[in-house]
Amino acid sequence: MRAEAVTNPEVLGRSVEGIADWHYQFDHMNPLCTDLRYRGQASRFQPPWGEVMCVVTTNSGVWGLGMGSLAGVTAPLINDYLAPMLSGEPIEDRERLWEMMTVACGSHFGASGVASYAISAVDLALWDAAGKLADKPVYELLGTTDPQPVRCYATGSDLEWFGELGFEAFKLACPWGPDTTLQSTNLSIWLATVANLWALRLTSCSIAGRSNLLNTPSASERRSVPSISSGSKT
């Protein structure tokens, strides 16, 4: 088992920056924004690490891939702690291996938070390898014989672009975060957004504090969506 930080996020269809360009536009991305002493310091509290890839290889040479986050701390946690722990264990006993990792991490430094990211990456890799060994899709291993399409949503404020990409559901930006005193001054933004929704026939919406509705890029400013090529490397 080996985990490494993703150094070329473009192979995953992500921007090189890794964080959406609207991520720091409003201070409510700051987990301490309700404390006036930390207002305007969102970037100060953002973890500096990106995504991690974990590869599990069986003794027959079959491998599985799992993804996680916070690579700066999860990669060494996987490589130095979880990998030696699971070495030699039967991959068919995945539920027990998950319990082993969870209890072991919990007894030393907590099973939530960073540990959960590391365990998740390993668990995904184990299931991926198991599917290859069984020559079955993972959903069949999970007991589903008739999978149904999963409806996806986009997060942000570029509603026109979302419609062009085929999305019918999205997570709507909330530009004022927890500061309710700004709601009245931003009412016109919401009205304009609702008008766009109606025009684009986007049928599902949720509200999230994610981006700036005042700075929606034009069509000419939109980034193209990169795809993964067969020869790409991380």
Domains of the chain: 2-141 (3.30.390.10), 154-221 (no CATH)
Q: With CA atoms as reference, report the closest residue to 86 among 53, 129, 56.
A: 56
Distances, alpha carbon 46 to alpha carbons 25, 28, 30, 50, 105, in Å: 13, 12, 8, 11, 24
Mean pLDDT of the residues in the chain: 76
Lowest mean pLDDT among 41-45, 64-68, 139-143: 41-45
| pLDDT of res. 226 | 31
Whether residue 178 is predicted with pLDDT greater than 90 in this model: the reply is no
**What band does 179 get if pLDDT is binned at 50, 70 and 90?**
low
Residues 127-172: tens digit of each pLDDT: 999 999 999 999 999 888 888 888 888 877 677 777 888 888 877 6
- pTM reported for the whole predicted model: 0.70
Alpha-carbon Rg for the chain, nearest whole angstrom, is 21
Q: Tell me which range, 13-22, 91-100, 138-147, is most confidently predicted by mean pLDDT.
A: 91-100
Block residue for tokens 């099973």: 111
| pLDDT of res. 220 | 41
Residues 205-216: tens digit of each pLDDT: 554 443 333 333
Q: Tell me which range, 3-17, 134-148, 149-163, 217-231, is most confidently predicted by mean pLDDT.
A: 134-148
Q: Are 97 and 119 in contact (CB under 8 A)?
A: no
Whether residue 117 is predicted with pLDDT greater than 90 in this model: the reply is yes
Of the two residues 27 and 75, the one the predictor is more confident about is 75
